[in-house]
């Protein structure tokens, strides 16, 4: 737990950057593999890969070696200078992607990458209007924040005009259903674009979406949806931008989540997983779009654009992913995780749904045995998991606090998956018992 000195530093000097305001009650001293360790020696199994980023676990020896070597050789350059790590990463990353995605620029965060992608789309199309999902999260910079609907919109004045929300095709909680009560996503998509067309001033530029909405509740787009969305975009002269911050680079069992649907985006953004926890992001597009943007004066650079140090880390990430076949490993571990969660769902009635792909899995709680609110249950289970040695993350949206985003590193062992499932089982059992006992005591 925080000692008096740490508590004073925390309360007096740290800005609270989340609406919920709470920091962890413990200070993390070090981390390795799938575990983080507190200052007082308590180990927590990390089922969120840090901030959904550390796909190779913490302190991976090859990442550590790359940073040590590269920082002593070449760390930062003037933005117009070239370095070998940047050239290598651009060529190698393009080699993992289908044509025509063969042009890359490297930045630091997902928000920056989405910002650059949206500016490029606006420059190429001549439009300014942007469509994204109603539970989207794309970052906190201006255009990315305007395309983010899950949270953070209230209190900052008017958003830029021309941003439209598209209904989320949530199969567990469908809002438009067919005769059998299942999500009718085609009718939902048609209706969504009917409304967008009615509001548009004829200046549609881009649609920015995640193939699996992570912060929006780990909602996997139904098979066929992405292709239909692409067609809607192209019919209107819009570019389709896919944000694969959390799904890219083997997490879902494929190198990229869009591969399942055979849909190649006009622009792809990568971030979190590309640096395996270090600040590295990328924008990838076709030579044609890059040329059009350049000819029209496209401008986007930051202090750390195409820096050699993070690019060297990106190359090492690709080395490990390819050598260790971590796409296949994510499928195997994902099957093990999903199977264990399905067993828990059969045991604990409060689990309403298990969904996702590979090692990005959502588990949604519904009301408890005595009608307890799912948000409160989620918070209680999260707290109990932490006490038992498992770090879990719930969706930070009102009404969705009972939905867990489970994303262990791709280097997690079978034994660690099993240990995490066992801890979650105990936490669910303990919370259920606590709520039952509380109800009896009140009666």
Positions marked active-site:
137, 210, 243, 246, 272, 405
Instruction: Sort 425 into a burial class: Cβ within 10 Å, 0-12 / 13-18 / 19+.
Output: middle
Tell me which DSSP letter residue 18 carries: S
Contact (Cβ atoms closer than 8 angstroms) between residue 54 and residue 409: yes
Q: How far is CA 205 from CA 127, 133, 292, 383, in A?
A: 5, 15, 14, 43
- 66: tokens are 């790359």
Instruction: Sort 443 into a burial class: Cβ within 10 Å, 0-12 / 13-18 / 19+.
Output: exposed
The tally of CA atoms less than 13 A away on the side-chain side of residue 175 is: 10
Report the greatest alpha carbon distance in the chain.
73
- 57: tokens are 């676990």
Report how far residue 130's alpha carbon sits from residue 17's, in angstroms, rounded to the nearest whole number. 26
Strands 239-243 and 204-209: parallel
Place of tokens 């289970």: 381
Tell me which DSSP letter residue 274 carries: G
SS3 of 141-160: the string is CHHHHHCCCCCCCCCCCCCC
Helix (H, G, I), strand (E, B) or coil at 42: coil
- 72: tokens are 């002593």
- 413: tokens are 């062992």
């Amino acid at each position: 737990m925080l000692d008096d000195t740490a508590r004073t530093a925390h309360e007096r000097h740290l800005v609270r950057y989340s609406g919920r305001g709470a920091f962890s009650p413990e200070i993390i001293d070090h981390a390795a593999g799938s575990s983080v360790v507190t200052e007082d020696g308590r180990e927590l199994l990390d089922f969120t890969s840090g901030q959904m980023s550390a796909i190779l676990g913490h302190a991976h020896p090859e990442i550590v070696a790359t940073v040590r070597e590269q920082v002593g050789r070449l760390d930062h350059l003037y933005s117009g200078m070239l370095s070998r790590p940047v050239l290598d990463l651009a060529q190698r990353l393009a080699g993992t992607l289908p044509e025509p995605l063969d042009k890359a620029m490297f930045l630091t965060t997902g928000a920056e990458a989405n910002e650059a992608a949206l500016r490029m789309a606006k420059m190429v199309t001549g439009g300014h209007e942007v469509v994204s999902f109603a539970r989207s999260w794309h970052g906190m910079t201006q255009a990315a924040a305007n395309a983010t609907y899950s949270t953070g919109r209230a209190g900052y004045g008017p958003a830029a005009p021309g941003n439209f929300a598209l209904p989320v095709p949530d199969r567990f909680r469908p809002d438009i259903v067919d005769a059998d009560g299942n999500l009718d996503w085609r009718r939902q998509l048609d209706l969504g674009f009917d409304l967008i067309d009615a509001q548009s001033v004829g200046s549609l530029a881009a649609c920015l979406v995640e193939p699996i909405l992570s912060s929006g509740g780990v909602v996997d787009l139904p098979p066929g949806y992405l292709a239909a969305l692409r067609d809607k975009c192209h019919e209107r002269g819009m570019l389709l931008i896919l944000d694969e911050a959390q799904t890219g680079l083997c997490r879902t069992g494929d190198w990229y989540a869009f591969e399942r649907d055979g849909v190649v985006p006009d622009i792809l953004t990568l971030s979190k997983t590309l640096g395996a926890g270090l600040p590295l992001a990328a924008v990838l597009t076709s030579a044609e779009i890059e040329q059009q943007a350049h000819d029209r004066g496209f401008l986007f650079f930051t202090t750390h654009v195409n820096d050699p140090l993070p690019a060297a880390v990106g190359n090492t990430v690709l080395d490990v992913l390819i050598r260790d076949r971590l796409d296949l490993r994510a499928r195997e571990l994902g099957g093990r995780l999903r199977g264990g969660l399905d067993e828990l769902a059969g045991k604990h009635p409060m689990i309403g749904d298990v969904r996702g792909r590979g090692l990005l899995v959502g588990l949604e709680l519904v009301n408890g045995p005595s009608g307890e609110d799912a948000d409160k249950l989620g918070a209680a289970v999260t707290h109990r998991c932490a006490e038992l040695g498992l770090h879990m993350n719930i969706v930070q949206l009102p009404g969705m606090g009972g939905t867990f985003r489970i994303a262990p590193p791709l280097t997690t062992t079978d034994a660690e998956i099993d240990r995490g499932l066992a801890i979650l089982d105990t936490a669910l059992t303990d919370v259920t018992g606590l709520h039952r006992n509380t109800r009896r005591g009140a009666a």
